Structure 1
Amino acid sequence: MTLVKICGLRSERDVELAVEAGADMVGMVLSPGFRRSVSLEEAASMADASGDAVSVGVFVDSPPEAVIRAVFELGLDAVQLHGSEDDEYVSRIRSDARVTVVKSFVVKGPQDVEAARR
């Protein structure tokens, strides 16, 4: 099965267009300081517009409390982590926010592959 995720969306209209085009998942960068970052206020209408698509909050080294708050405030279906979050952090998000968590990894060598398997 192939799933399509469109990420870095910045407006409700972007989300609507992605869903109309057949996106299975729509992603919003919720960590501040990035070119495609959006505020929680902006993300609220975007999450509402996601319809049947999976709404994904993308975070980079955000405090776990901020991630959990965003999940509940926005009704996110999943969280994508792109920072140096460790196993304990990921476990906390999974248990406290009760959402799917996708963790990205930089692979520079065999030790990184082993870390990703955990």
Structure 2
Amino acid sequence: MADIQTIKICGIKTEDLLDAAIDAGADMVGFVHFLRSPRHVTIEQLGNLISAARGRVESCVLLVNPDNSCVAEVAALGPDWIQLHGPESPARVSAIRHLAGVEIMKALPIGSAEDVAQIALFNDVADRVLVDAKPPKGADRPGGLGHVFDWSLLAGIDPNIPLMLSGGLTADNVAEAIKTVRPSFGIDVSSGVESAPGVKQKHMMEAFVRAARAAM
């Protein structure tokens, strides 16, 4: 068994799906504010979703290389977390963390040992590090593509780093992922609980959470 505390379902777009994610047993839900994503929600929708989540489940807003104006606008809505899923440098992550005043999760694309080495650079400037599969060349967005990376690349990672595992997780492979990686913070799913890009399914969320909890 792995000592994992957080199951995050990312890419929630409606209050009905928020309710379904909570009912399924999610500990955290993610809302994507990035126009090129099929899971994008507007600032107005973000505000409504964050309010609906408050006190029921932790909320996390995914941003990609945001400017200060965007960070301030999102932070004012009161999410528990902001997830940075772009090419933000450690210095930029630190600046956003200071500006936002909320906990920061930094996503890093993993495809090689060199990518894994980047994790240590962000451990001191982000509250959590999320590892995701490196997108293929030409991809129009940095995540949510359903790709799995080689989990063995994380074999030597410092167990004290609060790591969240993402990248192509589904109800069928999440138990193996947890057993192999033993991420210290939790796991994140998006496309693995969808019937099509951006189309979440309640029964898939329920199956994913069941499989993850059984492996913890």
Normalised by the length of structure 2, the TM-score is 0.51
What amino acid maps onto 1:60 in structure 2?
Answer: V
5+ long unaligned stretches in structure 1: none
CA-CA distance at 1:77 after TM superposition: 0.5
CA-CA distance at 1:15 after TM superposition: 1.0
Aligned match of 2:37: 34
| Higher helix residue share | 1
- How far apart are the structure 2 equivalents of 1:113 and 1:21? 32
1:26-63: CA deviation from partner (whole Å, max 9, x where unpaired): 10001222111000101111111113311100011222
Q: Find the partner of 2:46 among 24, 27, 43.
A: 43
Secondary structure in structure 2 of the residue aligned to 1:56: strand
CA contact (8 A) 1:68 1:93 kept: no
What amino acid maps onto 2:20 in structure 1?
Answer: L
What amino acid maps onto 1:77 in structure 2?
Answer: D
Aligned match of 1:103: 106
- How far apart are the structure 2 equivalents of 1:42 and 1:5? 19
Q: Which is higher, the Rg of structure 1 or of structure 2?
A: 2
Secondary structure in structure 1 of the residue aligned to 2:6: coil
- Quote the sequence identity (%): 33
CA contact (8 A) 2:84 2:107 kept: yes
* Larger RCO, structures 1/2 (Cα 8 Å, 6+ apart): 2
- How far apart are the structure 1 equivalents of 2:59 and 2:23? 14
- How far apart are the structure 1 equivalents of 2:72 and 2:78? 10
RMSD, matched Cα:
1.5
- How far apart are the structure 2 equivalents of 1:89 and 1:68? 14
- How far apart are the structure 1 equivalents of 2:111 and 2:37? 24
Aligned match of 2:125: none
- How far apart are the structure 1 equivalents of 2:114 and 2:25? 37
